[in-house]
Amino acid sequence: MHVILLLLSLLPFPLALALSHPHAAAHAQLKRHGLHLRQDILHGLLTGPGPFPQDPPWVPDYPTTFDGFCAPNSSQTVGTFAGPTLPSITDLLKRGAFVERSGTGLKLLGEDFRMVGTNVYWLGLDENVIPDPSYPSKTRVIEVMGIVSAMRGTVIRAHTLGISFGNPLSVMPGPDTFNEAAYEPIDFAILMARIYGIKLQIPLVDNYNWYHGGKYQFIGWAGIPWSGTGAAITPPDVGAYFYNTSSIVDSFKAYITHHLNHVNQYTGIAYKDDPTILGWETGNELAAVLFNDGPAPPAWTAEIAGLIKSIAPKHLVVDGTYGFYPETGQLQVSQIDIFSDHFYPPSIARFQAGLALTQAADRVYLAGEWDWTGQFGGDTINDFTAALEAGQGVGDFFWSLFGHDDKCCLYVEHNDGYSFYYPGRTQDMHNKALVMVQHAYNMNQDTPPEVVPAVACPQYSFPDSLFPSGLNIANLGL
C-alpha cells in the first residue's frame, strides 16, 4: 500500500541569466590536477553549484507558498537554499574528480572525504505515484537534490539508478532485453547530482522482490519458478540460484556491462567514466539465500566486483552483503572497497563490531541504511550519529528521504515507517532533521547550523549555462 499524490502542473521556470565565461584560473587548476575535461563539460563545471546553502540566504522571486504546509516553511527556519550557485574552484574540481579509497578512508582530491547523506530509492522509478510505478517528475528529483545539498549530504544511495528489472518501465524488462527509454530518468538524476555537487552510490540488484525487481527476476527468466513479494518468497531456498547458476550469473553480468557502458544523454559521459558516481554496490541487502542468513558467496562477490572494476576502474565497489560474516571469507574479497551494514534499530555495539572487522581488513566502513525514527528503540539518534562521526573513515546514509510533490506543497508519501519528509512534518521529525543536518556538518568537519535550512521548492534558480552545452533545456520537459 502506498499513499499516492501525483502532481501534474508545473510552476513557471524562471531561469537565471547564464554565467558564461570560463575562468582561466580554473583551467590552470584543473590542469595541475591532471583533469583534462572537454570544453563543454568544463563550461558546465564552471557555472555549477557549490554543495552548500547560500550565505546570505537567497529569497525566491516567485511564489513558493500555496498553503500553510508548502515548502519552504520560513517560520521554522532562517535562510532558504534556492539552488546551485557558482562554486569555488575547489568545489568544481571536486565535482570532476573521483572519490578514491586510501586504506580505511576515502579521499577526494587528496582531502578526507566522508560519505554522509541518505537513501533516495525512487530516483529512477517510483512506486509512490499514479500510475504505480512511474518515472519521478523532474521537479521532485531537483528538489531532493536541493534538500540533500542543504542538509550538507555528500552522497545519495539510489536503488533504482541501478536496480531496474522486470517491469515495462525497467532498463531490463525481460531476459536479455534492454529498454533504452528507462535511461532518461536515470540520466537526469545523475545530471542533477553532478550539478548539485553530490556523489552517487548505486546498488545493482535487490535481494527482494519489490516493484523495481531484483534477483528473483533473473531466477524466473532462467525458467525456475517462484512466487511472492518482498522477502516472503516460495520456495524459500530459490534465491540461491542467483549465485549458483552460471547462465543467471552471465545474464546479470551482461546487465552490468550494458549499464556501466551506457552514455548519459545529458552529459555525454558514460556511467563507467562519470565521477558523479562514487561507486557501485553489488546489491542491496544480499543474503546467502533468503534474508539475513549469510553473505552473498564471496566467490560471486569477487567475480561481480572484478567485472565492475574491469569496466569502471575508477569507481569504488561496495559489498552488497547485509552484514558481516567473517568466517566465510567475505572480508578477504580484494576487489571490495567498502563493507556495509544496515541498522533497524541503530546499534552502536553492532556498528563497532563491524567497524573493527572492516578496519582489520583495511577497508572502508559504511552504515548504508539506518532507522532515524527511534520507533524500535536501540541507541538514540544523537548517540548513534556521534559514534559514526567518531569512527575513522566511516560513512552513513539514513533511510529514507522524501520531498514534496510537483506543486511543492504536499509530501509524496511512502508507508514503510521510515520516510523522512524534509524539513519534518512533525516537531519530532523536525528535531531529528536538525540532528541529521548537524551530523552531516560534523562529518564534513564544518560548523553545524543551529536550525534546519529551508529549501526553496521548486529548485529552479540555477543558471541554464550550468547544463552541459548542447543540452536544450526546453527538451527536458521541466
Ligand X SMILES: *[C@@H]1O[C@H](CO)[C@@H](O)[C@H](O)[C@H]1NC(C)=O
Binding residues vs ligand X (CB under 6 A): 68, 73, 75-76, 237, 240-241, 244, 425
Largest Cα–Cα distance of the chain, in whole Å? 63
Residue among 98 and 242 whose Cβ is closer to ligand X: 242
Q: What distances in angstroms separate CA 42 from CA 78, 191, 302, 361, 476, one per listed residue?
A: 33, 14, 36, 38, 21
Alpha-carbon dihedral angle through residues 464, 467, 470, 476, given to the nearest 10 degrees: -80
Residue among 12 and 68 whose Cβ is closer to ligand X: 68
Q: Report DSSP state, residue 295.
A: P
Quick check: 49 and 462 in contact, CB under 8 A?
yes
Residue among 74 and 352 whose Cβ is closer to ligand X: 74
CB of 401 to ligand X, least distance (A): 17
Residue among 112 and 413 whose Cβ is closer to ligand X: 413
Alpha-carbon distance 26 to 88, whole Å? 9
CB of 216 to ligand X, least distance (A): 13
Alpha-carbon distance 98 to 275, whole Å? 5
Alpha-carbon distance 465 to 84, whole Å? 12
Alpha-carbon distance 374 to 352, whole Å? 19
Alpha-carbon distance 79 to 211, whole Å? 38
Residue among 228 and 345 whose Cβ is closer to ligand X: 228
CB of 420 to ligand X, least distance (A): 14
Residue among 27 and 425 whose Cβ is closer to ligand X: 425
Alpha-carbon distance 471 to 478, whole Å? 13
CB of 70 to ligand X, least distance (A): 7
CB of 399 to ligand X, least distance (A): 22
3-state SS, 355-372, equals HHHHHHCCCEEEEEEEEC
CB of 83 to ligand X, least distance (A): 21
Joined together, the cell numbers standing for residue 115 give 560519505
Residue among 30 and 412 whose Cβ is closer to ligand X: 412
CB of 419 to ligand X, least distance (A): 15
Type and span of the H or E element at 175: none
CB of 73 to ligand X, least distance (A): 4
With CB atoms as reference, the residue minimizing the distance to ligand X is 240
Residue among 242 and 398 whose Cβ is closer to ligand X: 242
Residue among 279 and 423 whose Cβ is closer to ligand X: 423
CB of 237 to ligand X, least distance (A): 4
Joined together, the cell numbers standing for residue 195 give 550539478
Alpha-carbon distance 195 to 148, whole Å? 12
Quick check: 179 and 167 in contact, CB under 8 A?
no
CB of 287 to ligand X, least distance (A): 12
CB of 341 to ligand X, least distance (A): 25
Cβ of 258: how many Cβ atoms within 10 Å?
13
Q: How many Å separate Cα 309 from the centre of its chain?
A: 20
Q: Report DSSP state, residue 126.
A: B
CB of 227 to ligand X, least distance (A): 15
Joined together, the cell numbers standing for residue 409 give 506543497
Residue among 197 and 458 whose Cβ is closer to ligand X: 458
Alpha-carbon distance 210 to 48, whole Å? 36
Cis peptide bond upstream of 227, omega within 30: no
Query: For 132-210, where are the alpha helices, taking DSSP H only?
Result: 138-150, 183-196
Radius of gyration of the chain (CA): 21
Residue among 132 and 237 whose Cβ is closer to ligand X: 237
Residue among 243 and 460 whose Cβ is closer to ligand X: 243
Joined together, the cell numbers standing for residue 248 give 543467471
Q: Helix 298-311 and helix 246-261: axis angle, to 10°?
A: 30
